[in-house]
């Protein structure tokens, strides 16, 4: 359990955020300037807020009302920074050993090296590593410090799409295997969808919403990353792998088809369906190439600025969001309560939007 | 070796000894002040900065004279130092003090620049990994500023080798005690027939300066390659 409360004034900006995160990976989600980084730096002790309290399990890391604010080196952290921040004068091995030594930790190096595939890099220096390799070393360095709390500040933001795909699975493993809470700052809905146990949405220095990834991302009122990034998250199970390269998923009884995923039959998955990839129809479409059709009822319609609206649909698979024009919504006679079908092309579900649950 | 007379040798040896100790003694102070100027905010920072640079701007004779009137055994500070057994007046430690003070601004400037070039984000990262402030300095800051520290030390040493005005004013020109290389060259030029000796010492001075320069280049290239990766 991680408890955070921070109040801080910085010029015209006021940060006033408080939340409690259950075990697992908590994503602080918000656009840049929402105060995410200030919150995580307060948790790390790199910044001392006007008022604040940070507690991890039974350990109080800071409580300004009692005059306690531990310096970073006494907080037992593993902080993964956006730019890696590896020590350029040390080899990869020495970087990995750095936090381990100061923590007096006896964690063996080998399992971490193996999990992150760092074996061939150990003797190199950070200057000779690619962006993805650096970030893997940074994850290893944080883990080996035997932290009581792992912090990650936009660890994928500086990487290209291919490198993001390479690193995301490591964070999934971290979420599933780490014994300590993880606080992860992000402005990417895809990362939230794949990684979050809990999402805390931050806007203008305040917490505006908190819940599971499925709850928060399918709420049409929460769009901190912009309308284009809106998309609902469905929790599904792998039903079968077909000969033609498709994987059939079971989404609350509705079959969905995806390009082949590597997980075994029965494995739980999370998929994110971007709202702008969803087509709506009042009647079950016939003679259509799209394979995925989810019947449901319109729950809400939220008009945004411009010609678009965001329609949320309750289906047996969970809530689905669709971004359509206002004109279409009117032509189809969409109002809350009417029956409707959501149509999604198989190839419209991006590979980085499919992750292990 | 017989191409230098014993008197000339004495000046060279003395100069090397004076410059070496001037550099070694000034190094920790220089590093501390450079770090303070680069990283800390405190009242009087500009005044400290000015004081450090003063020997660079003042005529060396003025610096030497100021040292003389504060540290002579008849002045209060000098009398106190003498009572606890430290005397700078007219011996080689005085020459080292003068040389160290004259080289100090150059040393601090080089170190300050390299400390300012270290990304504080790396020091933060070290802190989050459990390193306390002194450890962060020793394991991250110091290794990264090493080229600057060495460059500063070599600059300070070279300046000390060449120091003349403050030394001769403060501790005079006593062969074997305070007659460093430049003082010896000056003294040889004052007597008829001394040109040959002076010329030989000039050759030594040029050689030492070139060696120091090459050494500093070599060290900084090696350290840069180590820090830069590959």
- Distance, in angstroms, between A105 CA and closest chain B CA? 11
- Residue B219: predicted pLDDT: 77
Average pLDDT, chain A: 88
Digit-coded pLDDT (tens) for A132-170: 899 999 999 999 998 999 999 999 988 888 888 888 888
Q: Is the confidence at residue A233, as pLDDT, over 80?
A: yes
- Residue A115: predicted pLDDT: 87
For residue B176, the domain's CATH number is 1.10.3720.10
Strand A231-241 and strand A59-63: pairing? unpaired
- Mean local confidence (pLDDT), B34-46: 91
Is residue A83 less than 8 Å (CB to CB) from chain B? yes
Q: Indicate whether A193 and A117 sit together in one domain.
A: yes
- Mean local confidence (pLDDT), A255-259: 90
Q: Indicate whether A181 and A56 sit together in one domain.
A: yes
CA distance B74 to B57: 28
H helix and E strand count, chain B: 11, 0
CB B113 within 8 Å of CB B131: no
Does B121 contact A98 at a Cβ distance shorter than 8 Å?
no
For residue A143, the domain's CATH number is 3.40.50.300
Q: What residues of chain A lie within 8 A of the CB of B122, using their CB?
A: 85, 87-88
Q: Indicate whether A81 and A98 sit together in one domain.
A: yes
Residue A81: closest CA among B119, B135, B219: B119
- Residue B227: predicted pLDDT: 61
Q: If pLDDT is split at 50, 70 and 90, which confidence band does B230 have?
A: very low
Q: Indicate whether A151 and A11 sit together in one domain.
A: yes
Q: Indicate whether A279 and A337 sit together in one domain.
A: yes
Q: If pLDDT is split at 50, 70 and 90, which confidence band does A227 have?
A: low
- Residue A276: predicted pLDDT: 85
Q: What residues of chain A lie within 8 A of the CB of B147, using their CB?
A: none
Digit-coded pLDDT (tens) for A50-99: 999 999 989 999 999 999 999 999 999 999 999 889 999 899 999 999 98
Q: Is the confidence at residue A344, as pLDDT, over 60?
A: yes
- Distance, in angstroms, between B125 CA and closest chain A CA? 7
For chain B, report the end-to-end CA distance as a whole number of angstroms: 45
- Residue A10: predicted pLDDT: 85
* ipTM of the complex, rounded to two decimals: 0.78
Q: Indicate whether A200 and A256 sit together in one domain.
A: no
Give the percent of chain A with pLDDT over 90. Answer: 40
Answer yes or no: is B230 within a domain.
Answer: no
Does A73 contact B130 at a Cβ distance shorter than 8 Å?
yes
Task: Retrieve residue B136's tokens.
Answer: 């962060």
Task: Retrieve residue A9's tokens.
Answer: 């004034």
Does B228 contact A79 at a Cβ distance shorter than 8 Å?
no
Residue in A45, A69, A73 to test binding to B, most B beta-carbons within 10 Å = A73
The closest CB to that of B128, out of A79, A83, A127, belongs to A79
Does A83 contact B122 at a Cβ distance shorter than 8 Å?
no
Task: Retrieve residue A333's tokens.
Answer: 């006679």
- Residue B226: predicted pLDDT: 65
Q: Indicate whether A51 and A117 sit together in one domain.
A: yes
CA distance B163 to A278: 80
Q: Is the confidence at residue B91, as pLDDT, over 90?
A: no
Q: Indicate whether A259 and A334 sit together in one domain.
A: yes
Domain end position, chosen among A212, A228, A244: A228
Q: If pLDDT is split at 50, 70 and 90, which confidence band does B193 have?
A: confident
Q: Indicate whether A91 and A47 sit together in one domain.
A: yes
Q: Indicate whether A240 and A170 sit together in one domain.
A: no
**A8 pairs with which residues across the strands?**
A15
Task: Identify the closest residue of chain B to A88 by CA–CA distance.
Answer: B227
Task: Identify the closest residue of chain B to A46 by CA–CA distance.
Answer: B124
CB A192 within 8 Å of CB A222: no
Average pLDDT, chain B: 87
CA distance A119 to A114: 7
Q: If pLDDT is split at 50, 70 and 90, which confidence band does A263 have?
A: confident
Q: What residues of chain A lie within 8 A of the CB of B228, using their CB?
A: 88, 127
Q: Is the confidence at residue A230, as pLDDT, over 60?
A: yes
- Residue A353: predicted pLDDT: 80
- Among A99-103, A226-230, B138-142, B173-177, the range scoring the smallest mean pLDDT is A226-230
Domain region containing A119: 2-228
* Total CB pairs under 8 A between chain A and B: 73
Domains contained in chain B, number:
1
Task: Tell me the C-alpha to C-alpha distance, in Å, between residue B119 and each of A88, A160, A241, B114, B116.
Answer: 11, 24, 51, 10, 8
The closest CB to that of B230, out of A77, A127, A142, belongs to A127
Does A145 contact B132 at a Cβ distance shorter than 8 Å?
no
Q: Is the confidence at residue B229, as pLDDT, over 50?
A: no
- Mean local confidence (pLDDT), B124-134: 92
Q: Which is higher by pLDDT, A304 or A20? A: A20
Domain end position, chosen among A213, A228, A243: A228
Q: Indicate whether A150 and A28 sit together in one domain.
A: yes
Give the percent of chain B with pLDDT over 90. Answer: 37
Domain end position, chosen among A206, A228, A250: A228
CA distance A142 to A172: 15
- Residue B100: predicted pLDDT: 93
Task: Identify the closest residue of chain A to B121 by CA–CA distance.
Answer: A85
- Mean local confidence (pLDDT), A302-321: 83
For residue A333, the domain's CATH number is 2.40.50.100
Q: Indicate whether A216 and A286 sit together in one domain.
A: no
Q: Is the confidence at residue B166, as pLDDT, over 60?
A: yes
Q: If pLDDT is split at 50, 70 and 90, which confidence band does A7 have?
A: very high
- Residue A228: predicted pLDDT: 67
pTM of the predicted structure, to 2 decimals: 0.79
Name residues 135-174 of chain A within 8 A of B (Cβ). Answer: 141-142, 145, 151
CB A144 within 8 Å of CB A109: yes
Does A102 contact B228 at a Cβ distance shorter than 8 Å?
no
Task: Identify the closest residue of chain A to B145 by CA–CA distance.
Answer: A89
- Residue B61: predicted pLDDT: 92
- Distance, in angstroms, between A216 CA and closest chain B CA? 31
CA distance B174 to B60: 19
Task: Retrieve residue A356's tokens.
Answer: 């292990």
- Mean local confidence (pLDDT), A207-235: 79
Q: If pLDDT is split at 50, 70 and 90, which confidence band does A302 have?
A: confident
Does A46 contact B130 at a Cβ distance shorter than 8 Å?
no
Q: What residues of chain A lie within 8 A of the CB of B230, using their CB?
A: 125, 127-128
- Chain B residues with CB within 8 Å of chain A CB: 121-122, 124-132, 135, 139-140, 143-144, 226-230
- Residue A355: predicted pLDDT: 78
CB A181 within 8 Å of CB A12: no
Domain region containing B221: 6-225
Domains contained in chain A, number:
2
Task: Identify the closest residue of chain A to B130 by CA–CA distance.
Answer: A73
Does A72 contact B132 at a Cβ distance shorter than 8 Å?
no
Q: If pLDDT is split at 50, 70 and 90, which confidence band does A190 have?
A: confident
Digit-coded pLDDT (tens) for B20-31: 999 999 999 999
């Amino acid at each position: 359990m991680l408890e955070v409360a921070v109040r801080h004034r910085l010029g015209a900006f006021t940060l006033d955020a408080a939340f409690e995160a259950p075990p697992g990976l908590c994503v602080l989600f918000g656009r840049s300037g929402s105060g995410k980084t200030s919150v995580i730096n307060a948790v790390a002790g790199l910044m001392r807020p006007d008022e604040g309290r940070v507690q991890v399990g039974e350990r109080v890391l800071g409580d300004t009302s009692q005059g306690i604010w531990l310096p970073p080196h006494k907080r037992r952290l593993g902080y993964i920074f956006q730019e890696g921040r590896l020590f350029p004068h040390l080899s990869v091995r020495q970087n990995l050993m750095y936090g381990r030594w100061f923590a007096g930790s006896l964690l063996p190096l080998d399992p971490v090296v193996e999990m992150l595939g760092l074996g061939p890099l150990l003797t190199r220096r950070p200057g000779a590593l690619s962006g993805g390799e650096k970030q893997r070393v940074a994850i290893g360095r944080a883990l080996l410090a035997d932290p009581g709390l792992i912090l990650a500040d936009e660890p994928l933001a500086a990487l290209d799409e291919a490198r993001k795909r390479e690193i995301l699975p490591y964070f999934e493993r971290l979420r599933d295997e780490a014994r300590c809470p993880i606080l992860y700052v992000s402005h990417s809905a895809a990362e939230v969808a794949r990684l979050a146990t809990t999402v805390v949405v931050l806007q203008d220095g305040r917490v505006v919403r908190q819940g599971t990834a499925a709850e928060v991302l399918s709420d049409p009122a929460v769009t901190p990353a912009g309308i284009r990034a809106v998309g609902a998250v469905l929790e599904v199970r792998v039903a079968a792998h077909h000969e033609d390269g498709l994987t059939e998923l079971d989404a609350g009884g509705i079959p969905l088809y995806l390009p082949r995923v590597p997980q075994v039959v029965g494995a739980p998955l999370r998929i994110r369906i971007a709202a702008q990839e969803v087509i709506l129809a009042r009647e079950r479409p016939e003679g259509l190439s799209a394979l995925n059709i989810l019947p449901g009822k319109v729950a809400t319609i939220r008009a945004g600025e411009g010609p678009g609206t965001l329609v949320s649909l309750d289906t047996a698979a969970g809530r689905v969001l669709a971004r359509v024009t206002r004109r279409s919504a009117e032509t189809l006679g969409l109002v809350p309560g009417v029956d409707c079908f959501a149509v999604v092309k198989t190839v419209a579900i991006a590979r980085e939007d499919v992750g292990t649950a | 070796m017989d191409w230098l007379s014993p008197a000339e040798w004495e000046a060279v040896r003395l100069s090397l000894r004076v410059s070496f100790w001037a550099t070694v003694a000034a190094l920790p102070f220089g590093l501390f002040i450079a770090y303070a100027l680069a990283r800390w905010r405190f009242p009087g920072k500009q005044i400290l900065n000015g004081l450090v640079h003063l020997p660079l701007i003042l005529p060396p004779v003025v610096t030497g004279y100021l040292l003389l009137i504060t540290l002579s055994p008849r002045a209060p500070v000098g009398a106190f130092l003498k009572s606890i057994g430290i005397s700078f007046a007219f011996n080689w430690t005085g020459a080292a003090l003068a040389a160290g003070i004259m080289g100090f601004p150059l040393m601090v400037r080089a170190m300050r620049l390299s400390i300012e070039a270290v990304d504080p984000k790396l020091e933060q990262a070290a802190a989050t990994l459990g390193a306390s402030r002194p450890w962060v300095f020793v394991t991250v800051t110091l290794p990264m500023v090493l080229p600057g520290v060495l460059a500063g030390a070599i600059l300070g040493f070279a300046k000390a080798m060449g120091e003349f005005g403050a030394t001769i004013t403060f501790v005079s020109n006593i062969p074997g005690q305070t007659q460093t290389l430049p003082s010896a060259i000056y003294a040889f030029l004052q007597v008829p027939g001394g040109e040959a000796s002076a010329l030989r010492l000039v050759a030594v001075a040029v050689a030492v300066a070139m060696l120091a320069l090459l050494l500093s280049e070599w060290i900084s290239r090696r350290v840069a390659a180590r820090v830069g990766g590959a």
